[in-house]
Structure 1
Amino acid sequence: MNRAIRYSSKKVILIALAIGLLPIMLGTLLVYLKTSSDLSRTSDNAAHEASRQITVMLNEAEAAANELINIAGVPCSEVAKELREAVATYRFLRATNLAMDNQVYCSSLYGTDVNLTVNPQNYLRGRLRLVDQASPGPKTSVLILRVQHGTKSVLVGIDGRHIQDALHLINKHSNLSLQVGNTWMTQYGITHTPPYKDFPTAPKTLLSNEYGFTVYAAYPAGTLVKHTFDTYSVLLGLLLALGIFTGLLTYWMLGRVLAPSMELQRALSADEFIPFLQPVISSTSGKWVGCEVLIRWNHPHEGIIAPNSFIPLAERSNLIIAMTRRLMHKTAQQLAPYASRLEQPFHVGFNVSAKHFENFDLVDDCILFLRAFKPGAIIMVLEMTERELIKPTPTALQLIERLHDLGVKIALDDFGTGHSSLSYLQRFKVDFIKIDQSFISMIGADALSVHILDSILDLALKLDLQVLAEGIETEEQRDYLGACGVDFMQGYFYAKPMPIDDFLSTLLDKTSLSKKTAWVDNPGSTATCPASAQP
């Protein structure tokens, strides 16, 4: 049992830890997804804005090229001035060049001192190329747009510093890059071949349908975690506090719930649950013809504890079946040696709960109980409480069939006080009904309750059900119920629940029973029963 308690304690800690981690993990996951969404949206916006600005530059370059294409083929000395004026007129241009048959012959930078062959295959879609240019001036990247009409072509260079500035100012953290063919340019003006792909977080690739270039936006590894802590540090702190609070609260609550449950397990292992017997009296003979077995907890420190203090917890903890099995075993063990001296057949009733009707273990328990007695010496009665709903499942209905095959009787306890009694009578094969004390106590005091009682008795008579009235405390109640043909009676008027040894000693001492006679032996009784409820 100590091992079981340690196991339960570990299980409580694990459950509390799991529940405490749950809001932290779920909250962190949501924050992670939100951060990832934020970065992806930022990358997407940055890529679109970079693509838009580069397209604006290329549109301007194409406009300049379309103006200059008409002078292609004219000697350079005659058009060099126009090339330089175009560079001065358009904001983003670095140089303009004229070519015939893919041979550059005039440049705004070099004048006529140029002889460069152009290979269209080096240009993306034959019109766009990204190159480094070292002179004149500092090394910088140039984006070249090539426009061709027949044998004439114009090459317009866009200063890479304008593209660099645009990429840097749009979002310096998203590592914007421009790709033209196999060449990449970063926001720091550096060109790379092969492709530049060192930033795996929130990648976004955007292709220009008009010019064919690609803009790539992404964040370096670790950005997601850093951005999460930088942006949502307060929220993460709250999630951590919530998780710790939830875990501690769960540990405290489970401790409160499972501590009594573990105490019940300990008591069951220590055999502290004992049977108390309350006699069932024949209304005609006045003899003790049976008993109801009631469970008591003989606690080592608290003494005898009534069942209403622990039965609900036993049902919730799934210990009620083990308790009932133990109760049957101890009752059979103590009652069997005296079975021959009991009234034949002697009724022995046990209370069962809805948990017992979920499987067929109850059948085996009843077989073991009946085997302790000679055949026919005992009538075993199982009392289904109406205060707890027993669903008429196929398992429950088949279970009752098997019990009836063993000769076990079914009684409906607390009749009229809980769930639908008529439904129970219709679906379950009930042999007895037990009238609750709340109706018995109103005899002679409340006419309405007595009318209800009379209706119950009339219903039992018509359905050929035997009736046991419990909670009888006065002679008037005994006489009234006896006149109405109630078969069996039970209550403090006859005897309180008592340990088995006291029950047997009282039952076997005939003189002690003489003061509690049957109602027919009371000549002074004037009790009458309504005609509808008479047997």
Structure 2
Amino acid sequence: MFTRYLSSNRKILTVSILAGLFIALLLGTLQFFWSYHKREVKFDTLIADLSVYMETYFDELKTSIDTLQPLTLNNCHDVSAELTSRAAFSINVRAFLLVRDNKAFCSSATGPMNVPLEELIPELHINKPIDMALLPGTPMLPNKPAIAIWYRNPLVKNGGVFTSVNINLTPYLLYTARQDEFAGIAVIIGDQALSTMSGSLLNAHDLHEIPARTATLKDVPLTINLYAEQWTTDELLFALFFGLVCGIAAGSLSYYILTIRLNPGKEILTAIKRGQFYVVYQPVVDTKELKMRGVEVLMRWKHPTMGEIPPDAFINFAEAQKLIVPLTLHLFDLIIQDAPVLQTVLPPGAKLGINIAPGHLHADSFKEDMRTFNAALPPDHFQTVLEITERDMIQQREANQLFEWLHNEGFEIAIDDFGTGHSALIYLERFTMDYLKIDRGFVNAIGTETVTSPVLDAVLTLARRLNMSTVAEGVETPEQAAWLREHGVNFLQGYWISRPMPLAQFRKWQPDMHPERE
């Protein structure tokens, strides 16, 4: 009776719920431990980077000071100009002082002087080859802490070079202070410390917190402490949320698979025959005038029972079932159907950005498919741009030949989601492409004080040198648009401009963007 009571749908629902609970517990737990592991790796990486950065800085400073040591044998009037010039071109250096017979006799900042070094910096021991001390300030900058460094000249009696250096040696101090998981950083020299948690010098014994990581530089008496919370509420909440989302997704997917009881490939072919796929158009505008220069064509699937199915899901299904070619050809047909109307909306020469999957790019029918598609479009009106991801170019020799053929046929090529792969810079060097589409992850990081901005600057510089036009994806705010325009990005695409739209809505769409609003 119990078996008869449980209908097929109830069984499917029960199995789906159990699968969702199992996946939620499993992935939630894995996510929590993965977050903990990433924190540990992040701490190790940061303390190592800090150490390398500061050791490199002090090595370079030592090299510069070695060139100044012979000046301790001269009169100040003879060497003050060179001393001042060296200080001006040394990063973070406030002043160089030449010392002889325990007296500072020449300063790059003030010129000749005659002051015992013990009166200037009592904490320094000039009998040591190298010694350091933390200063609350210097005469020129009395309220800004500095590091005092002494380098002895073994050839001059009680002589050498003394220098004062800005304590803000690295952007990591600012970076860590603005991260939730980091409590701060302390630089310790002798019995004194400067911490991001205090605006003034502290006694090193007053640093009661146990650091998450500690590093001592190899050639100078300086120690770095990194402070961080062992556990964060955000990590636990994110693990719970991640597990919940994955559980719901797994349960829903299980219900979908068990409900349709069909081969995914047959489902896709049926959807093509029944017209369940449709296309949407997302405008792409130039950064100078904010005028539409083209669109990216995107495919969508509206299932009669499951509703809108995410593109990543059905495209991955199509690739797995070897159906990406018929799916792409169906996309071509949909574009060709819309082409007469698109011709009235888009200006001559407008770009049609179309994503090409690797399964189609390397298919035997690819060249013929592209020729057929191009011939079916209105002549001399659209410029087709094939958007190809980094993973599509693994077969280097074949990809090079295909790209050359595509260019000869009048197509343009864009590398899509740039920066998400592992060999992006290598691909830029090896392949000839027309556009570089910057991944939305870089765009989202604009203005968030992360390390992404220097990477994006480097990418844009490289693209300019290679004569590639750049397209920023995922532009959502006027601040992002302003930054991208200032840094020479050629085209913008994203929700700040417009969401992807069906043809009927796209015909009526009018851009509502003004540079002054940025």
Shorter-normalised TM range? 0.3 to 0.5
What TM-score, normalized by structure 1, do the two folds share? Answer: 0.46
Structure (1 or 2) with the larger CA radius of gyration = 1
What TM-score, normalized by structure 2, do the two folds share? Answer: 0.48
